[in-house]
Structure 1
Amino acid sequence: MLFSAFVPIWVLTGTGYLVARRGLLGPHAETVLGRFVFHVAMPAALFPMIARTPLDRFANTSVLAFAAGTALAMGAGALLAVLVFGRGRGGGAVAGMAAGYVNSANLGIPVAMQVLGDATFVAPVVLLQVLVVTPVVLMLLDAESGTAVRPGRRLLDLLALPLRNPVLLAAALGAAASALHWRLPAELVRSCELLGGAGVPTALVVLGLSLHGRPPAEGRTPPAELTALVTLKTVLQPLAAYAVGHWVLHLPAGQLRTVALFSALPTAQNAYTYAREYGIGKVLARDAVLWSTLVSMATLSVLGWLLPAA
């Protein structure tokens, strides 16, 4: 049942809210746990996963269709944020991520198994998002935060960004290990998997923590902006991926179904993790994750029913 794939997300997010409401972890829990996810757990999960995934998985037409939908949704989200809603470059990057960065791990796998009966498309989607989309978003956030790009050293600072950012460093090391066909020690892989396994549940708990007792200054995302981003994520992105796959790449029905369903997955909690870490668009990312997850329960069900398996 598709609904069961969403239950852990709501349970862990609700747990975070209840923990904050009871004050069990103190006033700094969101900051400390958020930094743990960004600096420790997420890099630990990414490194062995990418290192063991052949990079040639990029080379297929299904990924091209998914990438086209992603680019269109993220570009539209970023432009709306900057040109219509008056956000800066960093805010546009967060909005773009909210509009096009899918929850490929903790939702993509169960949805793929229950609806498609095959989760092999998860790997190329993760590679695309981690090795292509994430660096672009983090470079924009890094530049907007004012902590990295200095006059006269812009190129050097951007080239050195992976050395300062643990997520990008782990992805780069994993890609290098994959390209060179390095066999990682089993002890290292197991240690990374144990540590990385804490990333997704902790990120969801942090998301729940952020929902309680937020300062009045944080406010809420304007309804028009939130509606636009959620619509881009749950409707436009899968339609665009399907259109490219059908009319441009001429994918068979089964691949079209896979591409459309993965494109319709809700915004990943990584969007909130990155926004919180850089202090840019945190409320926007949080609201997009929550509402796109809720809406996608309906859109994924409709797509799974409408699109033929073969």
Structure 2
Amino acid sequence: MSGVLTGFVVVASLIAVGYVLGRTGVLGPAGQTVVSRLVFFVGSPALLVQTLADADVHVLFSEQLVVASSGVVAAVVLWVLIARYRLRLSRDDLVVGGLASAFVNAANIGLPVAAYVLKDLTAVLPAMLLQMVVLSPIALGVLDVSRHPGGASAKRLLAPLANPVLLASAVGIGLSVTGWRLPTALSQPLGLLAGFAIPGALVAFGISLHGRSTQGWRSPEVLLASALKAFVQPLVTYAVARLLGLGPGAVYAATVVAALPTAQNVFTYAVRYGVGRDLARDTVLVTTVLVAPVLLVISLVLPH
């Protein structure tokens, strides 16, 4: 348990550094954007290539993927049923809310938690691949069709396939399957860039917390999406992991990943399509506030 607490202290400390940077304005008004883009386009892809190249890819496409999918499906189905027939939300809001209810912050928060708490970076990869390969293309496709009733743009529907995280995952998996190893001249700079991903992501997240308002978090749709994300998804994931007979360590890791807060990608999508922006923003905020106590409870209750 001491190792878990130490991990949370490390994560919280780096987030606090980011918050101070945001509050003091040291990096300027575009600081958070620049750091986030460096992490997204440089650090995280390098880290994924490095991690996946040494990973057992068969683990990624076995029971762990089924377990990760179960929590996502449960949260999205419950959201659609309640939000559509109880809250009477529009189709676009249903899409954004569905993502907010199930799309875990596997990159910005998940990778640091996997590194410092789970001690296994591959723990977040099934969820990450599921989101990038399945959830994002489907959601963006639905939103694109709504924007263009005459037919969806093929270019926009294929845009997620050019995502650097997805491409880096493909490269890493290819290296793992073939057994190829990068030459030292490439692997060493890749390692240096990969080292920026985790601290950079946490600092960028801390910067983004400055100036965030909690106004609007009491709305029914935000409370519903936040409850599904923070409580229902990890509970279902835990139950399915136990039913499939996974070991204590695997059950713990899957439950922790499912309990991660809503990814900021959801807010990016909402802004891009001009729908559900308040819902996405406030759900990200609420689930981020909830993640520390939820993960601490999971760490206390589950063996690992």
TM-based fold match above 0.5: yes
- Aligned equivalents of 1:168, 1:276: Cα separation in 2: 17
What RMSD, in angstroms, separates the aligned Cα atoms of the two structures? Answer: 3.7
Question: 2:264 is matched with which residue?
Answer: 272
- 2:90 matched to 1:91? no
Higher helix proportion: 2
Distance 1:149 1:36 in 2: 32
Does 2:241 align with 1:249? Answer: no
Pair 1:112 & 2:104 matched: no
Distance 2:189 2:84 in 1: 42
CA deviation digits over 1:3-40, x for unaligned, max 9?
A: 33222333222222222222211122122222222222
Cα separation, 1, equivalents of 2:6 and 2:14: 14
Distance 1:232 1:19 in 2: 32
Match of 1:201 in 2: 199
Residue deviations 1:50-90 (CA, integer Å, cap 9, x gap): 22223211354354334312332355457767774555476
1:178 corresponds to which residue? 176
Residue ranges of structure 1 left out of the alignment (5+ in a row):
114-118
- Tell me: CA distance 1:203–1:223, structure 2 relative to 1, closer, same or farther (3 Å): farther
What is the alpha-carbon distance in structure 2 between the residues aligned to residue 12 and residue 282 of structure 1?
27
1:174 CA drift (Å): 2.0
Counterpart of 1:130 in structure 2 is 128
Alignment correspondent of 2:43: 41
User: What is the SS of the residue equivalent to 2:112?
Assistant: coil
Q: Give, in whole Å, the separation in 2 of the partners of 1:213 and 1:294.
A: 15
* Unaligned ranges ≥5, structure 2: none
Residue identity in the other structure for 1:106: P
Aligned pair count reads 292
Q: Determine the C-alpha separation between the residues in 2 that align with 1:173 and 1:245.
A: 28
Q: Deviation string for 1:85-141 (max 9, x for gaps)?
A: 55547624641444x45544211343335xxxxx4xx52x33312322223344356
Give per-residue Cα distances to partners, 1:232-266, cap 9 Å, x unaligned. Answer: 233212221232234x43446665445434433x2
Letter in 2 for 1:197: G
Q: Deviation at 1:46?
A: 1.5
Shift, 1:153, TM fit: 7.1
Question: Residues 20 and 256 (structure 1 numbering): CA distance in 2 closer, same or farther, change over 3 Å?
Answer: closer
TM-score norm. by structure 2 comes to: 0.75
* Counterparts of 1:42 and 1:149, CA distance in 2: 33
Residue in 2 that maps onto 1:116: none
> Counterparts of 1:229 and 1:277 in 2: how far apart (Å)?
16
Q: Is the CA contact 1:53–1:178 (under 8 Å) kept in the aligned structure 2?
A: yes
Aligned counterpart, 1:295: 290
User: For the Cα contact (< 8 Å) 1:94–1:275, is it kept in 2?
Assistant: no
In the alignment, the residues of structure 1 paired with residue 266 and residue 77 of structure 2 have an alpha-carbon distance, to the nearest angstrom, of 18
Quote the sequence identity (%): 30
Change beyond 3 A, Cα 1:219–1:82: farther
State the TM-score, normalizing by the size of structure 1.
0.74
Amino acid aligned to 2:25 = G
Q: Are the equivalent residues in 1 in contact too, given 2:75–2:101 (CA < 8 A)? A: yes
CA 1:108–1:288: 2 relative to 1, 3 Å: farther
Give the match for residue 161 of structure 2: 162
Give the aligned partner of residue 28 of structure 2: 26
- Contact 1:65/1:245, CA 8 A, preserved across alignment: yes
